[in-house]
Amino acid sequence: MLSDNVLISSFIFFITCGVVWLIISRIERSKLSPRIKRVLSYGCFAVIFALIVIIFNHHSENYLALNT
């Protein structure tokens, strides 16, 4: 089971989404200015987007390595 890349990647994705959700909820409750809150929230979403790109790139590299 620990050698299945899809399960490991999905576990990392869901853990990261949970951490980002906690960070965004703390940002929204903070006393920062609305602009800083918005920029930090966009940064968190950028982290999730980058993680998705990395995961798909990793899966495609593994698929091509196994099937060529």
Per-residue pLDDT of the chain (68 residues; tens, 9 = 90+): 456 788 888 999 999 999 999 999 999 999 999 999 999 999 999 999 999 999 999 888 888 888 88
> Positive or negative CA dihedral for 28, 34, 37, 41?
positive
What separation in angstroms does the CA of 24 have from each of 2, 45, 59? 30, 9, 28
For the entire predicted model, the pTM comes to 0.80
Half-sphere exposure of 28 (CA within 13 A, CB side): 9
> How high is the pLDDT of residue 42?
96
> How high is the pLDDT of residue 44?
95
CA 24/CA 43 separation, integer angstroms: 10
> How high is the pLDDT of residue 7?
87
Phi and psi angles of residue 31, each rounded to the nearest 5 degrees, phi first = -100, 30
> How high is the pLDDT of residue 3?
65
